[in-house]
Chains A and B, each alone.
Chain A
Amino acid sequence: MSDDRSHLNRRKFLQYAGIGLAGGSLMSLLAACAPTAAPAPATSAPAAAPTSAVAAKPTAQAAPTSSGAPTSQAAATAAPSTAGGKPITVVQAADVPNLDPSRNLVVHVYNVADNVLDTPTYLDRNLKIQPRLATSWKAVDDATWEVKFRTDAKFHDGTPFDTSAVKSSFDYQTDSAAGSRTFFTNWASLDVVDASTVRVKTKAPEPYFPNTLSRLWIFSPADLKDPTVFGRKMTGTGPFKLTEFTQGQQITVNANPTYCGGAPKINGVVYRAAPEASARTAMLQAGQADVVVNLPVEQAKQVESSDQLRLGAVTGLRGVPLMIDTRSGPPLSDVRVRQAMNYAVDKDAIIKNILGGYAQQQPATISPLIEGHNPDIQPYAYDPEKAKQLLSDAGYANGFDMEFHHPTGRWMKDAEAAQAIAQMLGKVGIKANLLTAEYSTFFNTWSKGDYKGMSMIGVTQPDGTAVSLFNLFLHSKGAWPFSWTDAQMDTLIEKARSTLDQTARITAFHQLEQYIHDNAPFLFTWEQKDLYGINKNLKWEPSSNEFMHFWDATF
């Protein structure tokens, strides 16, 4: 039989190699025709794409996301500038499986529900409490609040709103299957006084009662008779009516012209989902979207430099402290060691070089936007010499080994920052073994308390109060197995969270924050900014707690 394989001689080999290289590099070259600005990550950690199952080659990935070329191309065709007639298209990072925010406690569901349903109060862009369906609230005594509601609100199906809807919504949101039950653990009861008044009895004094009110969604009693309806539709009293819910594709809401707070100025909102961050940004650049959420750092820079788009970089509430596990005793249970770890890491350098400047240091726990933040606390300076000194005082002049757990692709540059932190700790003798996992696996193991050493965890406060952070980690009766056991800490926390007088409460929080800073239960890091890509023609700003309210948006 004759040989049907071609002879692989030198000429043919060069031919194939040439074709292969040309073809394979053509696409990369096209995309990378501008000089790369962002440094490629040091290891093969996948670029910020939380749901990707395949790790991309780092060099190929770094090139397209930092190119300046796409934006100059985009300038050639104008972004779709729209008068009030066209709805806003919003692209979120995940699909909405079900519209019910009391069972689906995720921000992409909230962002639909919060425009269709009302709550008694809400947090404005500066995280100040504003009235919404409620008109006023007052503390009748230390454990009772009285709330008065509007009388002119109507559900989208025409039914008038009254406080019986508040009661049925409260019952629904606190029943045994509702995840939202957790928000109301301090409420003993909610009773209707008359058609526009309710009374809430709390178990312990609750100074942040108005903030808790912002979590109470007001559902339509008709919907609550059959909650399976939330897989298809939702009726509320809100500024927008739900008109379409095609799972996996889009959700459409249209302006409610008779909204009691004044009709929205835009026609409506179309919500879509694109889990892949590059695809989201591409939709924005191609004019397919007006707002996209969760831009990765490299793409944020691209959007910033575009003429058609603008970057909404809001000071967010999401911090990523590194919790230090003191259960196993020294070295980590020694405060000098923990302080040394704080001195060893140059957080400003990480923020500037890895996070693109889109974060600010958090030397304690409370965000500057939230009441109780102590502006006098200075972050631990970058001082490796002091770190070594403290370690040696504690008896660890030769350092020690430690586990360092972090997820990958969950928070802004989490894996890259962890690597940088580990490197810096290494320079003072602390050998941090990096251990990573995909977020669900990470969170599962972490929440059982199985991680020793140090763990990166993301925390946020969408209701604008600092209180639950402490309930979680720092109080000895906290929800987590890591809980800090320190009687002084417990006293400070209990005092701060139950003082009804505002001035005294703020002072109590300041003391608590200082105590936390000094005792360093965490390696303090930063709070990342929330990065939104926005069509320049859209007059709208995101809020700091990741909620998106569209009733005051205009083109």
Chain B
Amino acid sequence: MFSYLIGRLISAAVTLLVVSVVVFVVARLTGDPVRLMLPIEASNDEVARVRHDLGLDQPLPVQYVTFVTHALRGDLGSSLRYQQPALSIILGRLPATAILAATAMAIALVVAIPAGIISAARPGGLADGTARTVSLLGQALPAYWLGIMLIIVFAVWLRWLPAAGASSPSSVVLPAITLGLWPTARISRVLRASLLEALHGEYVRTARAKGLSESRVVLQHALRNALLPAVTVVGLSFGVVFGGAIITETVFAWPGVGRLLLDAVSQRDFPLVQAIVLTFSVLFLLINLGVDLLYGALDPRVRLS
């Protein structure tokens, strides 16, 4: 177990290193933040001077080494526009994204688990058909479009909920629904498939032969085994939700890290982009590790080595 953890941590570190190189290089290839920061009238001399002040005229490998040595000390650089340490900006916005992601996942679980169970209990029925179609739509509909539709219907017409921003507790509802639709769809489909599989097991036949009620068979016996693949998907969905938050947060003006990232990319705020991508990578890696450990704990057949 211990050696497993060490192995995972080493591979996580290697992944982070690769990510840092990629984001570092790609960001710098796509544009120049200095031109964007200065007025359009600024002369090329002005631009060169500011670029020098910011250390952006150094050769890329030098800049990268500076970045890595600082990062190892916990200093992920200073945002070019905020003029504050990138990490503290991110940490300030992370709670908002976490709340949104958690609410979205909560909605997803509350909807997807019953839906998956009903679908699998009566495959081919009306409920199953509806659930599967809605699932398909949920995975196909763009969040951008859905979000705006929800705003128009629930905020402008019905005035039940705020249109955008995070000014009141009810502000989280529409963005969480938008963000949660994809994981709902995914989880319910996976649960349906794995529960159907489980219901064909020998032990289910035995349970039925013993005279147990169908609901006990499904919920107490089959479901436990069916939940295992679903746990993996739930864990991975958390990661996807953090990424999908970029669009949802922009549409709903939610004050989280996703919107911060989009804004930073469009302004080529390199230090902030790097810091956010690395933070997300660390989160994904931790979530993946957590999911694998959880799976190992839940399923006695799996031995992590």
Cα of A50 to Cα of B256 in the assembled complex, Å: 19
Contact assessment for A64 and B263 in the assembled complex, using a CB-CB cutoff below 8 Å: no
Q: Pick the contact of A56: B142, B252, B256 (CB < 8 A).
A: B142
Task: Give the residue name and chain of the B residue nearest to A302 (CB).
Answer: B156
B7 within 8 Å of A (CB atoms)? no
For B30, the chain A residues whose CB sits under 8 A away are 440-441, 444
Convert B140-159 into 0s and 1s, putting 1 for each residue whose CB lies closer than 8 angstroms to a CB of A: 01111110110111011101
B14 within 8 Å of A (CB atoms)? no
Q: Pick the contact of A104: B81, B167, B251, B252 (CB < 8 A).
A: B81
Contact assessment for B267 and A440 in the assembled complex, using a CB-CB cutoff below 8 Å: yes
Contact assessment for A182 and B38 in the assembled complex, using a CB-CB cutoff below 8 Å: yes
Cα of A507 to Cα of B140 in the assembled complex, Å: 62
For B304, the chain A residues whose CB sits under 8 A away are none
Cα of A70 to Cα of B268 in the assembled complex, Å: 37
Most buried by B among A247, A286, A438: A286
B36 within 8 Å of A (CB atoms)? yes
User: Which of the 9-residue segments B61-69, B82-90, B102-110, B221-229 touches chain A?
Assistant: B82-90
Cα of A58 to Cα of B41 in the assembled complex, Å: 36
Contact assessment for B157 and A69 in the assembled complex, using a CB-CB cutoff below 8 Å: yes
Task: Give the residue name and chain of the B residue nearest to A183 (CB).
Answer: B39
Contact assessment for B148 and A283 in the assembled complex, using a CB-CB cutoff below 8 Å: no
For A91, the chain B residues whose CB sits under 8 A away are 253
For A503, the chain B residues whose CB sits under 8 A away are none
Q: Pick the contact of A441: B31, B53, B156 (CB < 8 A).
A: B31
B72 within 8 Å of A (CB atoms)? no
Knowing A176-B49, A181-B46, A279-B251, the reply to whether A51 touches B40 (Cβ < 8 A) is: no
Contact assessment for A279 and B129 in the assembled complex, using a CB-CB cutoff below 8 Å: no
Interface residues of A in 403-442 (CB under 8 A from B): 438-441
Task: Give the residue name and chain of the A residue nearest to B168 (CB).
Answer: A288
Q: Pick the contact of B130: A19, A279, A288 (CB < 8 A).
A: A19
State the Cβ distance, B169 to closest chain A Cβ, in Å: 14
Cα of A479 to Cα of B200 in the assembled complex, Å: 75
Contact assessment for B41 and A479 in the assembled complex, using a CB-CB cutoff below 8 Å: yes
State the Cβ distance, A446 to closest chain B Cβ, in Å: 9
Cα of A280 to Cα of B247 in the assembled complex, Å: 15
Knowing A64-B152, A447-B35, the reply to whether A6 touches B40 (Cβ < 8 A) is: no
Contact assessment for B253 and A273 in the assembled complex, using a CB-CB cutoff below 8 Å: yes
Contact assessment for A228 and B255 in the assembled complex, using a CB-CB cutoff below 8 Å: no
User: Which of the 9-residue segments A20-28, A360-368, A387-395, A547-555 touches chain B?
Assistant: A20-28
Knowing A51-B262, A97-B79, A228-B83, the reply to whether A479 touches B42 (Cβ < 8 A) is: yes
For B32, the chain A residues whose CB sits under 8 A away are 444, 447
A98 within 8 Å of B (CB atoms)? yes
Contact assessment for A282 and B152 in the assembled complex, using a CB-CB cutoff below 8 Å: yes
Task: Give the residue name and chain of the A residue nearest to B32 (CB).
Answer: A444
For A272, the chain B residues whose CB sits under 8 A away are 165, 253
Contact assessment for A105 and B151 in the assembled complex, using a CB-CB cutoff below 8 Å: no
Cα of A70 to Cα of B152 in the assembled complex, Å: 8
Q: Pick the contact of B144: A6, A50, A56 (CB < 8 A).
A: A56
Q: Pick the contact of A74: B96, B156, B251 (CB < 8 A).
A: B156
User: Which of the 9-residue segments B131-139, B209-217, B290-298 touches chain A?
Assistant: B131-139
Most buried by B among A24, A183, A272, A279: A279
Contact assessment for A275 and B39 in the assembled complex, using a CB-CB cutoff below 8 Å: no
For A103, the chain B residues whose CB sits under 8 A away are 37, 83
B121 within 8 Å of A (CB atoms)? no
Contact assessment for B133 and A16 in the assembled complex, using a CB-CB cutoff below 8 Å: yes
B299 within 8 Å of A (CB atoms)? no
Convert A466-503 into 0s and 1s, putting 1 for each residue whose CB lies closer than 8 angstroms to a CB of B: 00100110000001000000000000000000000000
State the Cβ distance, A467 to closest chain B Cβ, in Å: 10
Cα of A46 to Cα of B80 in the assembled complex, Å: 29
Convert A8-25 into 0s and 1s, putting 1 for each residue whose CB lies closer than 8 angstroms to a CB of B: 000010011001100110
Contact assessment for A439 and B50 in the assembled complex, using a CB-CB cutoff below 8 Å: no
For B37, the chain A residues whose CB sits under 8 A away are 103-105, 179
Q: Is the interface of B mostly helix, strand, loop or mixed?
A: helix
State the Cβ distance, A354 to closest chain B Cβ, in Å: 22
For B123, the chain A residues whose CB sits under 8 A away are 4, 6
Knowing A276-B251, A276-B253, the reply to whether A468 touches B41 (Cβ < 8 A) is: yes
B57 within 8 Å of A (CB atoms)? no
Task: Give the residue name and chain of the B residue nearest to A246 (CB).
Answer: B255
State the Cβ distance, B223 to closest chain A Cβ, in Å: 16
Convert A43-58 into 0s and 1s, putting 1 for each residue whose CB lies closer than 8 angstroms to a CB of B: 0000000111110110
State the Cβ distance, B124 to closest chain A Cβ, in Å: 4
Q: Pick the contact of A275: B83, B151, B256, B263 (CB < 8 A).
A: B263
Contact assessment for B136 and A179 in the assembled complex, using a CB-CB cutoff below 8 Å: no
Contact assessment for B153 and A27 in the assembled complex, using a CB-CB cutoff below 8 Å: yes
Cα of A182 to Cα of B50 in the assembled complex, Å: 12
Interface residues of B in 92-115 (CB under 8 A from A): 92-93, 96
Q: Pick the contact of A52: B96, B134, B144 (CB < 8 A).
A: B144
B266 within 8 Å of A (CB atoms)? yes
For B246, the chain A residues whose CB sits under 8 A away are 53
State the Cβ distance, B187 to closest chain A Cβ, in Å: 19
Cα of A288 to Cα of B30 in the assembled complex, Å: 37
Contact assessment for B93 and A248 in the assembled complex, using a CB-CB cutoff below 8 Å: yes
Cα of A179 to Cα of B81 in the assembled complex, Å: 12
Task: Give the residue name and chain of the B residue nearest to A277 (CB).
Answer: B148
Contact assessment for B43 and A444 in the assembled complex, using a CB-CB cutoff below 8 Å: no
State the Cβ distance, B147 to closest chain A Cβ, in Å: 8
For B148, the chain A residues whose CB sits under 8 A away are 64, 276, 278-279, 282
A73 within 8 Å of B (CB atoms)? yes
Contact assessment for B129 and A248 in the assembled complex, using a CB-CB cutoff below 8 Å: no
Cα of A51 to Cα of B156 in the assembled complex, Å: 22
Task: Give the residue name and chain of the B residue nearest to A270 (CB).
Answer: B167
Cα of A67 to Cα of B165 in the assembled complex, Å: 24
Contact assessment for B164 and A247 in the assembled complex, using a CB-CB cutoff below 8 Å: no
Most buried by A among B39, B44, B143, B145: B39
User: Interface on A for B, CB 8 Å cutoff?
Assistant: 1-2, 4, 6, 12, 15-16, 19-20, 23-24, 27-28, 30-31, 50-54, 56-57, 60-61, 64, 69-70, 73-74, 77, 91, 94-95, 97-98, 100, 103-105, 176-177, 179-183, 228, 230-231, 246-250, 272-276, 278-280, 282-283, 285-288, 438-441, 443-444, 447, 459, 468, 471-472, 479
For the A-B complex with A23-B137, A179-B42 known, give 17 more contacts whose Cβ atoms are closer than 8 Å: A4-B200, A16-B132, A31-B152, A53-B250, A57-B142, A64-B152, A95-B259, A182-B39, A182-B46, A231-B82, A275-B262, A279-B251, A282-B148, A283-B163, A285-B163, A441-B30, A472-B40
Q: List 28 A-B contacts (CB under 8 A).
A: A1-B200, A4-B123, A19-B130, A27-B149, A30-B153, A51-B263, A54-B143, A64-B148, A74-B156, A97-B79, A98-B84, A103-B83, A104-B81, A182-B42, A231-B84, A247-B82, A248-B92, A248-B259, A275-B259, A276-B252, A278-B148, A279-B164, A282-B164, A288-B163, A440-B268, A443-B31, A444-B268, A471-B41
